[in-house]
Amino acid sequence: MDDFIIKYISAYIELTPEEEDIIRNQNLIKPFLKDTVLLAEGEHARECYFVLKGCVRRYHIINGEERTTDFYTENQSIIPVSYTTKKPSEYFLSCVEDTVIALGSNERNEELIKQIPKLETMLVQMASEMQAQNQVEMDNFKNLSPEERYRNLTDTRPDLLNRVPLNYIATYLGITPESLSRIRKRISRNR
């Protein structure tokens, strides 16, 4: 399981065998059961996450209703806004399935960087890439209609539709479950 992380990091920087060991020793890997809440609204996030297996859902509660804002699956990192800003979280993180996660914390990350300084170079790259990807996602969301967003999702993340209930997908697409039903019907009618 650890080797997923080594592999992931190695795509950014080269690691010596000793460095690989340091990472293997440092890293905390934990399994969580379905529906475990990793972070609740109002809490301070002291950890960030790397999904090794399973699926985590990010959602807000607005007027008592859950609004899904993201899904994280294998090989995605989750850096809660609260982790960065050190303010209370505006949203929840919860496991949609049984999920295995590598945990990071500020203290342990700093410790690691002291031992392997080039990790910082990787962090800059990772953060930049996430930033770029966020922007692309935002642009797509803004420039596409609900129906186009649904089609886009079935193209880019077809797995999600099989592992996540449609009502979560609906709010993730910024629409109601009823609207999603209509869209799906519309699409199947016109093949």
Query: What DSSP state is assigned to residue 78?
Result: E
Among DNA, its own copies, none, residue 143 binds (CB under 5-8 Å by kind): its own copies
Query: In the complex, what is the shortest distance from the CB of residue 25 to DNA, in angstroms, rounded to a whole number?
Result: 37
**Sole binder of DNA in the list 147, 151, 153, 157 (CB under 7 A):** 147
Please report, for residues 14, 45, 66, 160, the alpha-carbon distance to residue 167 in angstroms, rounded to integers and kept in the order given.
42, 27, 10, 12
176 binds DNA (CB under 7 A): yes
Neighbouring-strand partners of residue 65: 62
State the number of binding residues for DNA (CB under 7 A): 19
111, 120, 159, 178: which one contacts its own copies (CB under 8 A)? 120
Instruction: Report H helices in 33-118.
Output: 81-85, 106-115
Shortest spacing between CB 48 and its own copies, in angstroms: 10
Angle at the Cα of 56 from the Cα atoms of 167 and 178, rounded to 5 degrees: 5
Taking the complex as a whole, the smallest distance from the CB of residue 148 to DNA amounts, in Å, to: 9
Q: Which of 102, 107, 91 is nearest to 37 (CA)?
A: 91
Q: Which of 16, 25, 145, 162 binds DNA (CB under 7 A)?
A: 145
Q: Which of residues 42-101 bind its own copies (CB under 8 A)?
A: 60, 62, 67, 69, 79, 81, 84-85, 90-91
Separation CA 66–CA 82 (nearest Å): 19
- 13 contributes a contact to DNA by CB under 7 A: no
Nearer to DNA, 36 or 77 (CB): 36
CA distance 72 to 105: 18
Residue-by-residue DSSP string for 109-156: HHHHHHH-TTHHHHHHHHHHHHHHHHHHHHHHHHHS-HHHHHHHHHHH
Among its own copies, DNA, none, the one that 166 touches (CB under a kind-dependent 5 to 8 A) is DNA
Angle at 59 between CA 55 and CA 65, to 5 degrees: 130
Binding site for DNA (CB under 7 A): 145-147, 165-168, 174-185
Q: Which residues are near its own copies by CB under 8 A? A: 60, 62, 67, 69, 79, 81, 84-85, 90-91, 120-121, 123-124, 127-132, 134-139, 141-143, 174
